[in-house]
Chains A and B, each alone.
Chain A
Amino acid sequence: MKNKAPNKKIIQLLQTSFYSLFEHKQILFPFAMIALIQLFVLEIIYFAPKHPLAVFFGPIIRKTYGEAYLHYPFNFMKMPQMFQSMQIPLYVLVNSFFVGMAVSIIATINSDKKLIMKNIMKDTWRGYVHIVLGSVIAFGMVKGLNLLYGKIYARATMIGATEGIKFLIKKVILAGAPYFTLLLSVLVSTLLAYVIPIIIIDRKKIFAALLKNLKTLWGSFWFTFILILVPTLLYVPVILLRRNLPLNIIPELHAVIIILSIVIMMLIDAISYTALTTYYLLKKEIQ
């Protein structure tokens, strides 16, 4: 008898995942650690132009961005860019580990075993190299797609039309840039959605995990895409705030928006990975 796929009810799965975060608060721990580490990085960036950190960071900022960004209020204007550049090593080396931990916690809770943090960390360390490689691949894909979008954006700016279909295309591409970027990251997340769960739960190496990820995605690509897209929509208010707040008048708002984005990303990641891992475990059970 052919095995049936698990029930593909997105809202139900997301609801269950959301309530699991409160029922099993341990799942939130790795994501909270990611958020706290990012807040620490933001803190360093905030204090970098000031005494005493300016002694060390001053020459670096001066060389990379220019003298102006060591002074108020220009340091805030560069803050998003500085924070973004720190995200790359953080995402690859730190966030990936904690996401692996979260997956391990979810799997342990699901199998009704006792949650021992030492074992969770051991399990995650075991697959750490492969998780890092998976993150590098994800980062590379996001970067590549963003570069491609950058070329489309640059081409759109050259459109001279002020009305008609060409003007509409130009407006959509230019005004929609942050939303397209978000969509591209959702796409990449979808394409690599089950890599970390496979590495942690099935203890596969990276290439085997990538292959199994594709097999898992086969027949459930759109389901997975929407599963990731729905919680990601929580980030849209951050984009809207960034566009509409008086950042020139109150430069500190740059930092406020980054803090908000850290908190919201924590929530998005927690819901997404809980839902993905739960779905993967359900699919495994049935198979």
Chain B
Amino acid sequence: MRKTLIITIIFLMLTFGVLSVLDLKSNYSAEKELWKINQHFTQVTKDPKTTPDTTFKKIYQDYVAFTQKYPDSRLTPMARIFSGRAQIFLENYEKAREIFENIIKAYPDNKVLGAQVVAEIGRTYALEKDPENIVQTYHRILDEYPLTEIGLKTPLYIAKYYGDKKEFAKAKQAFERGIIHYKRLITQHPDTAVEYKALHFIAACHLAQQRWQESINVFEEILLKFGDKKFFTPQEAISLVKSINTIAVAKLNNKEIPVEIYNKFMEKYPEHPFNRTLKQIITNLENFDPDQNTETGSAPQNDSQ
């Protein structure tokens, strides 16, 4: 009995030892190390003013040590970004930008990473209150990473930047330039997810300028053009329909507009699974009395997607 127990315990310990050794320097080990450094970083950035510089320096060194220990890990680019952020907290903005530029040079094919890193560079200029370089950074994203998620949103970020600074004329100009930029993207990438997203952003530009009819026209175009595409999910459809209904009823005070749009959709896609929901929405709209302030446009409770 004792022998069996001892053998079992030894077997357990051996298995643990062997499997631990085999796992050294694996992706999992990298994840664990990076997570712990990130936890520490998150903790100290909750109140950076009371955190001594030595702590941020130590965190920076931890990230650098991580990138040296795991040079080929998929987590290394993020660790390098975090090391740049540690420099930002030390207010070494030049050093931070140097780190970020080196990341771009090290991973030239990774456009998503590149856009994120350039956005970090923009952050350093924002902290230095350098408006010229902030705008230049935005334009750099537009030129070098136009099709990334950040790149697609950048025209809106530029307009918001001017809006926050109360430079409304520049903000309006930025929206117009944004619409031109998105239309150019649509010409270059027709019938793709890029066009789909670009149209959404065009609608956002119109909405920000309270151009209600123009925004509804764009939503109509999205609904009719992309109704049969696989990225046009039920959630996307509901979101679009809610936007159309809200603008038409609350802003334009015209519930006929969405009814007309939905009828066009059902005519174009007679077998579409969303038609059942649309019919219910049309009924709700037709029964909607703005004076009684009842809710419109939401999907019926008993309808399942």
Contact = CB atoms under 8 A, between A and B. Distances in A.
A43 interface: yes
Interface stretch (B23-31, B153-161, B249-257): B23-31
A215 to B, nearest CB: 34
Interface of A: 26, 29, 32-33, 36, 39-40, 43, 47, 49-54, 71-73, 117, 249
Contacts of B45: none
A47 B19 CA distance: 7
Interface of B: 1, 4-5, 8-9, 11-12, 15-16, 19, 22-23, 26-28, 31-32, 35, 39
Contacts of A53: 19
Given A29-B1, A53-B19, A43 B12 contact: yes
A43 B35 CA distance: 22
A249 B42 CA distance: 11
Q: 9 closest pairs, A vs B, by CB? A: A72-B31, A50-B23, A72-B32, A50-B28, A47-B19, A51-B26, A29-B1, A36-B8, A71-B31
A52 B12 CA distance: 17
26 contacts: A26-B1, A29-B1, A29-B4, A29-B5, A32-B5, A33-B4, A36-B5, A36-B8, A36-B9, A40-B12, A43-B19, A47-B19, A50-B23, A50-B26, A50-B28, A51-B22, A51-B27, A51-B28, A53-B19, A54-B28, A71-B28, A72-B28, A73-B32, A73-B35, A117-B1, A249-B39
Contact of A50 (B1, B8, B19, B39): B19
Nearest to A75: B28
Contacts of B15: 40, 43
A157 to B, nearest CB: 20
Nearest to A249: B39
Contacts of A71: 28, 31
A36 B12 contact: yes
B108 to A, nearest CB: 27
Q: Which of A29, A43, A50, A71 has the most CB of B within 10 A?
A: A50
Contact of A52 (B9, B16, B22): B22
Contacts of A32: 5
A47 B23 contact: yes
